[in-house]
Amino acid sequence: MPDSSKKIDVDLIHRMEYELKKTKEAVPVILAKAPGRIHFLGGHCSPYVNIFLSAAIDRYVQVAVSPRQDNSLRYYAADLGERKRSTISNLKYRREDRWSNYFKTAIYVFMEQGFPVKGLSFTISGNIPRQIGLSSSSAIEVAAATALKGLFNTKITDIELASRLAQAHLLIFGKNPELADYITGICAKKDQFLLIDEADQSIKRFKSPFLRCKIILIDSGVSRFGGNGELAARKGELKSALKTLSKTRIGINFRALAETELRELMGNLSEEKRRRTLHVIQEIRRIPEAGNCLANEDLHGFAREIFHSHESLRDLYELSCPEIDWLVKRALETEGVYGSRMTGNGFGSCTYSIVKNEALNEYKSKIDDYERIFGFHPSIYEVKLASGSQILKKGGK
């Protein structure tokens, strides 16, 4: 796959400079980028687990920012040819602002810190596939925040920036985001997996043992209509299960439950809640075990943990669908595939598979029949583990 990130960066600078030609003064342009990410494990149990095995990928959002002489906020999506605007005094979510709402999260962070935020012009471009669970929205927030960090020349730490972005997102959107999205987008390193614990905001890093492999993402093309409601129902069942279990033991939580204790308490739960709870408990144990496999370069052990996680999502959490299961099964039938699993919010989205370079053609041939069987055209992306956000250009006209 050709790397088009440099072309996109240059093009974005040119577009921003074109936008600024209307002004008479030379103003600085800060250009930053932030990556998409994959949650390899742990991405479906928030807020009851809050540990993730994640990595950034080499698909990016690029954001250019420049100060204005007024108090207007201007946003231009170069890929869409769309413009939006708002003001500093009206920094709140508006449905009609769509993608530009994510900039407000980043702006709010620096306003709250007392920086002289006045008018700003933003231009955005990117190549992160959208709506398949790669966190393109938080990448906008991270890229914008990284650009503003460069504009104001502040020394805010990476973890503090991630935490403040999460708080600002809750304020603007009224929904709790996953802190791990921001931590991954900011703190990731090339060819590294991150084991992120949101409880104490700690990070354990593991060098990837898959340097002779490709990570293949397959967008199933399945519509997720109604999926958000089902996902909310799963989380509601977990909340109810935890409430039932807490009647037996005060202060109980899923992370504190041992398997032997869980079996003793299982009779208090309905069959449906029992399955959801089992998935959470097993996922909690899989994540550090997968980390151990990475540390010991146990590729087959890692693949086993990944597949067991998908089985659990399919059978216990019931978040998968026939199309996704078919893609995972085809991957596991290919020698040289080190794990395959669904990612994204479920009921569609996509799969990731870690495939040895020499097995890539055979793997792709396995999915040739997908469209004929299911009627959906799959989109295939090859990605690498990448570094977190960074400033690409600072200063100038």
Distances in Å between the alpha carbon of 73 and those of 129, 382, 391? 26, 36, 21
Q: What pLDDT tens digit does each residue of the chain (397 aa) get?
A: 333 444 545 565 666 666 555 544 446 689 999 999 999 999 877 777 789 999 999 999 999 999 988 889 999 998 898 999 999 888 999 999 999 999 999 999 999 999 989 899 999 999 999 888 899 999 999 999 999 999 999 989 999 999 999 999 999 999 999 999 999 999 999 999 999 999 899 999 999 999 999 999 999 998 766 567 888 888 889 888 888 887 766 567 787 775 556 666 677 788 898 899 889 989 999 999 999 999 999 999 999 999 999 999 999 999 999 999 999 999 999 999 999 999 987 777 899 999 999 999 999 999 999 999 999 999 999 999 999 999 998 765 4
Rounded Cα distance between 28 and 47, Å, is 40
Residues ≥6 apart with Cβ < 8 Å to 182: 138, 141, 142, 161, 162, 163, 165, 166
Distance CA 118, CA 107 (A): 10
Residue-level pLDDT at 31: 92
pTM value is 0.91
Q: Give Cα 288 distance to the centre of its chain.
A: 20
| Distance in angstroms (rounded) separating the CA atoms of residues 103 and 348 | 28
Instruction: Note the pLDDT of residue 22.
Output: 52
Q: Across the beta sheet with 350-356, what order do the strands follow?
A: 337-343, 350-356, 213-219, 379-383
pLDDT of 162: 98
Q: Which CATH number fits domain 213-384: 3.90.1150.10, 3.90.700.10, 3.30.70.890, 3.10.180.10?
A: 3.30.70.890
C-alpha distance from residue 330 to each of 47, 304, 308, 323, 352 (Å): 32, 15, 15, 11, 12
DSSP codes, 220-270: -----TTHHHHHHHHHHHHHHHHHHHHTTSTT--GGG--HHHHHHHGGGS-
pLDDT in the model for residue 250: 56
Active-site amino acid positions:
181
pLDDT at position 5, please? 43
Thinking of the domain 5-207+386-394, which architecture would CATH place it in? 2-Layer Sandwich (3.30)
Per-residue H/E/C for 83-142: EEEEEHHHCCCCHHHHHHHHHHHHHHHHHHCCCCCCCEEEEEEECCCCCCCCCHHHHHHH
Domains 5-207+386-394 and 213-384 fall in the same CATH topology: no
Domain spans of the chain? 5-207+386-394, 213-384
Query: Which residues have CB under 8 Å from 226's CB, separation 6+?
Result: 347
Counting every residue written for the chain, the total comes to 397
| Cα–Cα distance measured from residue 205 to residue 203, given in angstroms and rounded to the nearest whole number | 6
User: Can you read off the two tokens belonging to residue 151?
Assistant: 């504009």
Q: Please say whether the beta carbons of 273 and 244 come within 8 A.
A: yes
pLDDT at 70: 87
The crossing angle, in degrees rounded to 10, of helices 179-187 and 136-152 is: 60
